[in-house]
Structure 1
Amino acid sequence: MIRFIASLSAAVICASTALAEPAKIYQDACQDCHGANRLGGLGPALIPQTLKRMRGPKLEKVIRDGRVASQMPAFTDSLSDEEIKALAEYIKTPLDEVPPWDEEQIEASRHLNEDYKPVEKPVWSSDPMNITLAVETGDHHVSVLDGDTFERLDRFPTPFAVHGGPKFDPKGRYVFIMSRDGWVQKYDLYALQEVGRVRAGLNSRNIAMSHDGKWLAVANYLPNTLTILSTKDLSVAEVHEVKGKDGTPSRVSAVYQAPPRESFVLALKDVPEIWEVFYGPNPPQMGFAHDWRMEGPVKHPSPFPIRKITTPDYLDDFFFDQSYEYVMGASRSGEGGLVIDLVIGQKTADLDLPGMPHLGSGITWKYGDTTVMATPHLKDGTVSVIDMKTWKTVKRIETLGPGFFMRSHENSPYVWADVFFGPNKDAMHVIDKQSLEIIKTLRPVEGATVAHVEFTRDGSHALVSVWEDDGAVIVYDAETLEEVKRLPMRKPSGKYNVWNKITFSEGTSH
């Protein structure tokens, strides 16, 4: 439902669906993004299992008014109240059959490239640690860029609708890419070849890699599972069915890596809990036996034990401190947040974060004698700066509108923050880290969506996306803020530098 078929005007569609059955309305208005079978694509699955809280008038309101801080538009000018009500009822109708998707089906989908030939060293002469990937959502490709010359080394096809950031193995050789419909692709940057792919879920959110590079965790909306894959050959290590302590099934909003703890941390959509899934040989006990759930028969316990922590609110979005002891979570209401101490499994602080913070895009830097964390907000034109010692708000920086991404680098004095939503989507703010003031606002393409910044390995250059089908990645000198180069691309979204990602560079979302 993200958008109508581009070639049709809203008026034409409204007329064509005036007397149509709900299935026809869905076909015309929704299936491009949510799939012909309603199992999801660029947008999430639209079936009762994934719409647990979207009942009756609430679902109709989303169709009518759209959804803030997303690509879901309003249909109030294109569909009548009767059509919206009929469409909502249709979406709430169960499918005749939702295909099972457990270990057997996942393994059956696994395909390794028979033509893949590994190499001992890269087939190119660039700095392996300064390779940057640019995801092009316009035609579902990824460009592999030399971070020094900004020349394109390769451009390879990906599964449909890449979602969430790609993950590199600890050596920066292999990259793993996930699509919204659950496909996970493994690509060898040295050989510039796809290694293989597997469908780990039917509708998925993101992936996380263990710090040792052995395991890849896939967060799924459909089915309600966490799939853990072996990075070696994409085989299934385990599939966890996600249910709260009281047995309530839940979608997984996101999965994160917590390297010092040798664990994955899960944000859950439908139960007020967070999960910690341990993959190390000796998971910490910490005296919380009542919080542990060992999956599988007693004689053969899971190699991935799970700790379930009850939280005061539903937490969809996370940010971790540098020690990974504390996790900052955004409240479902979008009017605040809280801090959970993972060691004791308890809330330790509240966060003053109105306006739906996007903690997943938060970054940190040194500020005086402390470290601060900054996050954009999806509803308010504000960047909040939080003291990581006291959890107090240091400053709210007013921006030209709600933003989605922030980036910086330890060698840069500046933070870059986009204005993804609203009329000023063509603006990119540059903020001084110490004065916490906007020192410049760039507008590289008037009227275009300008978003997401990535830095080169040394922080000398910043790469900015012009998020349009006939868009570009613009390279800026990170000190002078002058444009250096413009690389035409098909709706480029995220960029990911090998070094910044595998070293958890300051200023990079983890």
Structure 2
Amino acid sequence: MPGRRGLLGGLAAAALAAGRAEAMTAERGTGDLGLVVERASGSVQIVETTGRSALGRITGLGDLSHASAVFSRDGRYAFVFGRDGGLNKIDLLQGELNRRVLQAGNSIGGAISDDGRLVAVGNYEPGGVRVFDSVTLEPVEDIPAAYGPEGAARSKVVGLADIPGRGFAFSLYDADEVWTVALPEGGAPEIRRFRDAGRQPYDGFVTPDGRHYIAGLFGEDGLTRIDLWHPERGVQRVLPGYGRGEEPLPVFKMPHLRGWAVAGEQVFLPAIGRHELLVADRWDWTERGRVAVHGQPVFAVARPDGRQVWVNFAHPRNDVVQVVDTESLSVVHAFTLGRGVMHLEFTPRGEQAWISVRDINRVEVFDTRSLARIASLPAESPSGILLTARAGRIGF
């Protein structure tokens, strides 16, 4: 695309002033590594799950108040997306910041293509999606997500996820649309727009088989589904009007849909402004039930075997994690861990759950069978926990 090498302009690559993790000396694979985001200090810890230990800290990563990460195909590199528009490439084996660019003014997450060649970032300011070469972080494409009369406005982009076919799906919060884009090597972007996708889509996820993109709606009760196998079917509604006739509660924190709460034949979804999980049939997307929970759910994360869903909650009830049995649709256990439970991540086979507790500066690790605490790691205002197993998953 013309001028793409000048895309960064005044947002030129920042100097690599970051620290180097101190403990990355042993030869190792990457399969049990991961990151703990330390949101207050602009740093991440590199951790390993076999011995449940921290290996070191990397600093200088910018504003990580809403940070997320994806991983290269081999699990060696993490791409960390900062709220300040920073795109950071971290070498997990060397324990150092490999590259950093400031690609926008305010970004909200990203994704990596199925071939591992492209990293895409969803932006609030100036809006749209920017795509980079995963090796060099050189710009490849700028997709403005333009809407309105003659495309005069750029929309905030949310719910950016990879989809099969060297592509991405994402939601336009301001335009009430969902877009998919394929980026064939050497060809122009192939964009498909799904208009009237529902009011204010705020997040999205792709089902584990890569078939469906689901967008949560903030401006109305319900969700939007796009069948990626049959895009010609257009926008389809999921659980429309689930709060019909009832006054919603004030929303203190937006729920997230990236927990992949797909468990067997069921999908577990946080209800906005309600103390409930919504349960939908995975195949026909009709309602199967609801689960009353402790507060307004933020993450609903399925254990890899699908037997349980673990849930955390928005302020002021954010000191608790509840465990939901997916057969009985009932809460079977609750942990009280301290204020600011931010994120949950299971190890690939589900034997451990890692939970960040921001306000007590700890990451707590639990055995998911006995529900006993098996490790407790210090961290500076931890939020996201992201393990390299994500490298092999669609839409994660």
Task: Decide whether the 8 Å contact of 2:277 with 2:291 is kept in 1.
Answer: yes
Query: What's the TM-score once normalised by structure 2's chain length?
Result: 0.86
Q: Which residue matches 1:265?
A: 169
Q: Which residue matches 2:236?
A: 348
Q: Which residue matches 2:43?
A: 141
Report 1:79-98 matches (<5 A).
none
Q: Which residue matches 1:465?
A: 356
Report 1:11-90 matches (<5 A).
none
* Cα distance in 2 for residues equivalent to 1:478 and 1:115: 35
Range with bigger deviation, 149-158 or 257-266: 257-266
Q: Which residue matches 2:322?
A: 429
Deviations 1:78-118 (A, max 9, x none): xxxxxxxxxxxxxxxxxxxxxxx98636156124759999x
1:325 aligns with one of 201, 211, 215 = 211
Superposition deviation, residue 207 in structure 1: 1.1
Q: Which has the higher strand share?
A: 2
Task: Decide whether the 8 Å contact of 1:162 with 1:177 is kept in 2.
Answer: no
What secondary structure sits across from 1:360 in the alignment?
Answer: coil
Q: Which residue matches 2:255?
A: 358
Report 1:370-381 matches (<5 A).
371-381=265-275
Deviations 1:328-377 (A, max 9, x none): 2223424222323342151234424446883523424444xxx2111223
Deviations 1:290-328 (A, max 9, x none): xxxxxxxxxxx9632322221242323223334433322
Question: Are 1:176 and 2:73 counterparts?
Answer: no
Q: Which residue matches 1:453?
A: 344
Residues 360 and 253 of structure 1: CA distance in aligned 2, closer, same or farther (over 3 Å)? farther
Tell me the amino acid that sits aligned with residue 272 of structure 1: D
Deviations 1:435-475 (A, max 9, x none): 22110111123xx122311122332111111121x420011
Task: Decide whether the 8 Å contact of 2:304 with 2:348 is kept in 1.
Answer: no
Structure with the greater relative contact order (CA < 8 A, sep ≥ 6): 1 or 2? 2
Task: Decide whether the 8 Å contact of 1:130 with 1:497 is kept in 2.
Answer: yes
Q: CA RMSD in A?
A: 2.7
Superposition deviation, residue 213 in structure 1: 1.1
Tell me the amino acid that sits aligned with residue 310 of structure 1: R
Range with bigger deviation, 150-159 or 180-189: 150-159
Deviations 1:394-426 (A, max 9, x none): 11111111021122332463221012232x321
* Cα distance in 2 for residues equivalent to 1:399 and 1:255: 25
What secondary structure sits across from 1:324 in the alignment?
Answer: coil
Residues 377 and 491 of structure 1: CA distance in aligned 2, closer, same or farther (over 3 Å)? farther
Q: Which residue matches 1:478?
A: 368
Task: Decide whether the 8 Å contact of 1:410 with 1:459 is kept in 2.
Answer: yes
Q: Which has the higher helix share?
A: 1
* Cα distance in 2 for residues equivalent to 1:230 and 1:488: 35
Residues 359 and 183 of structure 1: CA distance in aligned 2, closer, same or farther (over 3 Å)? closer
Superposition deviation, residue 177 in structure 1: 0.7
Tell me the amino acid that sits aligned with residue 177 of structure 2: E
* Cα distance in 1 for residues equivalent to 2:33 and 2:259: 23
Tell me the amino acid that sits aligned with residue 425 of structure 1: N
Task: Decide whether the 8 Å contact of 1:182 with 1:201 is kept in 2.
Answer: yes
Q: Which residue matches 1:487?
A: 377
Tell me the amino acid that sits aligned with residue 400 of structure 1: H
What secondary structure sits across from 2:221 in the alignment?
Answer: coil
Q: Which residue matches 1:311?
A: 196
* Cα distance in 2 for residues equivalent to 1:318 and 1:444: 28
Tell me the amino acid that sits aligned with residue 392 of structure 2: T
Residues 160 and 338 of structure 1: CA distance in aligned 2, closer, same or farther (over 3 Å)? closer
Q: Which residue matches 1:250?
A: 154
What secondary structure sits across from 1:124 in the alignment?
Answer: coil
Query: What's the TM-score once normalised by structure 1's chain length?
Result: 0.68
1:106 aligns with one of 8, 14, 24 = 8
What secondary structure sits across from 2:89 in the alignment?
Answer: strand
Q: Which residue matches 2:223?
A: 337
Q: Which residue matches 1:297?
A: none
Q: Which residue matches 1:417?
A: 311
Tell me the amino acid that sits aligned with residue 223 of structure 2: G
Please identify the structure whose Cα radius of gyration is greater: 1
Tell me the amino acid that sits aligned with residue 145 of structure 1: V
Question: Are 1:161 and 2:49 counterparts?
Answer: no
Superposition deviation, residue 503 in structure 1: 2.3
Task: Decide whether the 8 Å contact of 1:361 with 1:404 is kept in 2.
Answer: no
* Cα distance in 2 for residues equivalent to 1:484 and 1:116: 29
Task: Decide whether the 8 Å contact of 1:452 with 1:494 is kept in 2.
Answer: yes
Task: Decide whether the 8 Å contact of 2:268 with 2:277 is kept in 1.
Answer: yes
2:26 aligns with one of 112, 115, 124 = 124
Residues 245 and 279 of structure 1: CA distance in aligned 2, closer, same or farther (over 3 Å)? farther
Tell me the amino acid that sits aligned with residue 274 of structure 1: V
Q: Which residue matches 1:442?
A: 335
What secondary structure sits across from 2:147 in the alignment?
Answer: coil
Task: Decide whether the 8 Å contact of 1:328 with 1:339 is kept in 2.
Answer: yes
Residues 150 and 323 of structure 1: CA distance in aligned 2, closer, same or farther (over 3 Å)? closer
* Cα distance in 2 for residues equivalent to 1:255 and 1:428: 24
Tell me the amino acid that sits aligned with residue 395 of structure 1: G
Superposition deviation, residue 238 in structure 1: 1.9
Residues 377 and 126 of structure 1: CA distance in aligned 2, closer, same or farther (over 3 Å)? farther
* Cα distance in 2 for residues equivalent to 1:454 and 1:364: 12
Range with bigger deviation, 103-112 or 231-240: 103-112
Task: Decide whether the 8 Å contact of 1:138 with 1:491 is kept in 2.
Answer: yes
Task: Decide whether the 8 Å contact of 1:219 with 1:253 is kept in 2.
Answer: yes
Task: Decide whether the 8 Å contact of 1:256 with 1:266 is kept in 2.
Answer: yes
Q: Which residue matches 2:178?
A: 274
Tell me the amino acid that sits aligned with residue 190 of structure 2: P
The total of aligned residue pairs comes to: 376
